Structure 1
């Protein structure tokens, strides 16, 4: 990144943290501010050191003053609560609990245009919130908060006091449940008296969708797809094709016993690349499990700016998620024209309009210029003023 581009980004972020940008929401502080460790990354060249961490602030004004004077590119704070958050080693900090975090990152879900990735990850966010509130006993209005990361995803913060003391093992159990990790199909479907909800209902729907799809294929495609499953021979695939109509009929009558004992279905359930496993995975939460199990994690600070996009790390009420558009609602910079030099042709929506950027010199709104420069796609032309 060229010095002029670095200075442009630093000046724009300084405007935000100094309160010179009108009509933006106020900066926030997390609960128990003085018990949190803070970390910062700054604009600079590749030779600039990475994160500056092991910092703490006794009060909100101390944090605000740091943001105004230092103008960080990225702002993080600990999900953990510490007795001595500024201590230089984790052992000396004195861990006393941590919020539980779910991280949904579109990079781990799909590839494609940025706006499409944001739309898809929002769908996954709503799915996960539904699982947590309807199946895990979490009060979405009191114990759960949502934050747009400013990049490609969302964070869910669980603030339950009962969960705060959980170590990694307990957090992993919750992550395994929502992500369907270690799901054993026969055990989930075996007891016909259990109500159809949670993973039992999802597994039934996944099995039904798999068999229905197989039934719709030409016979050669059926044989090819089934014999590609680990542990299934061509002869086994042919025999399964003959059983398939009867298996589907049994599902229509709500009888799953023959399915959960079928050797080919069991092989499909064990093969992560099979159609059945993909159907199950589509119904699981696509959260980044290591983030949830980490009890000493640093997470982006809500109301800060993301140095790779210029978008606001935006806290949201659950009721606001449906209408939230990050490329409008998380934008804090203006639409004044700025000249940039793009390294390649691309297109990008921003502030309700769509822009086609050609390789070379372009004039774009300031908010888009910040985004493209932060992403490393473009460099500033001139001084940006």
Structure 2
């Protein structure tokens, strides 16, 4: 603990207070009680002198951190529940925040991204994929991996291992590139010879990418988007069942006459994005990064950043398991909010109304800027 830097964002001042250190948990607890910060962070890095300015800290190493955020995952529901609000005239809209308010022209806009079930389930799927990478491709043990729900719209993975601790930014960038399939050249991967779905590394991932592509309901249209000619499209779609049935024995490459390896290569490159890890590369490569502290509240939701046991990630439900406030009701005025479920109870949709709701619901809406307190 004494080798970590801590940082805090405050309620009143819109600034980050950092370069703070603590020797004991009791000191940190006392600080939190007295200052009551909005958000609490600590460094992924270990320092000789964590309270000094960056150039004088004495970097000793850093955990490997991954951030998966639903903001970076394409889900159709965002058009329904994400909102923006003009600070000048109060105009509201849905979906992607515009460059300027269409009513008054102001560029002073607030956006509110909503943590819905679909978005967070998509983020969870990405985390499960990332864990597979870490264990199957990099050889980390479950004891070295710590998964957290971020408290907002995603998940964090902390890799805490002496093996990885001292690698620098360039090496971390290499890890990111591997996970995101950057610069991948298919001729160097064994899928071209066997096509085994169980192959380790990118060879198996490429094979699985093509296999999943073949299961698409609109296969012909997807093949056309790749620029394949009509004859190749017809050959593949008419023989889809044969391709899938024979896959595990010898791959699809020579099953269909007139469909060569170059065609499968096009499909592979198109399909790779679904096998690659959807991570924030900036977070992973930053060896001085401050990351939200586990067990603390997220200022945009009031949810806790909670650790998720690896064996329980499938059943983890942030709308139950990360709720910090569970008792009492208060009255708020809601400008607008989508329908949502919290602690197995349904709320909303609300629009321009006064409601009495549980504290956890009120804090979520207040934190999102979608409501205000009522006397």
Alignment of 1:197-346 (within 5 A): 197-211=200-214, 213=216, 217=220, 221=221, 226=224, 228-229=225-226, 232=227, 237-241=229-233, 244=236, 252=246, 254-255=250-251, 262-267=261-266, 269=268, 277=270, 279-346=271-338
TM-score w.r.t. the length of structure 2 is 0.79
C-alpha distance after superposition, 1:67-92 (max 9, x if no partner) = 0011111111100011111112x211
Instruction: Find the counterpart in structure 1 of residue 140 from structure 2.
Output: 138
C-alpha distance after superposition, 1:197-230 (max 9, x if no partner) = 332222112223435649853xxx47xx52x44x
Instruction: Find the counterpart in structure 2 of residue 122 from structure 1.
Output: 124
Structure with higher strand content: 2
In structure 2, distance between residues paired with 1:320 and 1:213? 30
Distance 1:193 1:365, change over 3 A: closer
Distance 1:245 1:377, change over 3 A: closer
Instruction: Find the counterpart in structure 2 of residue 150 from structure 1.
Output: 151
Instruction: Find the counterpart in structure 1 of residue 199 from structure 2.
Output: 196
Q: Offset at 1:193? A: 9.6
Structure 1: tracts of 5 or more residues without a match: 1-32, 271-276
TM-score w.r.t. the length of structure 1 is 0.77
Q: In the alignment, does 2:10 pair up with 1:39? A: no
Q: In the alignment, does 2:373 pair up with 1:377? A: no
Distance 1:54 1:292, change over 3 A: same
Structure 2: tracts of 5 or more residues without a match: 82-115
Q: Offset at 1:267? A: 4.6
Structure with higher helix content: 1
C-alpha distance after superposition, 1:70-129 (max 9, x if no partner) = 1111111100011111112x2111111000011111111134361222222122222221
CA contact (8 A) 1:342 1:357 kept: no
Q: In the alignment, does 2:52 pair up with 1:87? A: yes
* More relative contact order, 1 or 2 (CA 8 Å, 6+ apart): 1
Distance 1:345 1:76, change over 3 A: closer
Q: Offset at 1:143? A: 0.8
Distance 1:82 1:208, change over 3 A: same
- 107-116 or 145-154, which moves further after superposition? 107-116
In structure 2, distance between residues paired with 1:317 and 1:122? 13
Distance 1:147 1:290, change over 3 A: same
Distance 1:266 1:313, change over 3 A: same
CA contact (8 A) 1:215 1:244 kept: no
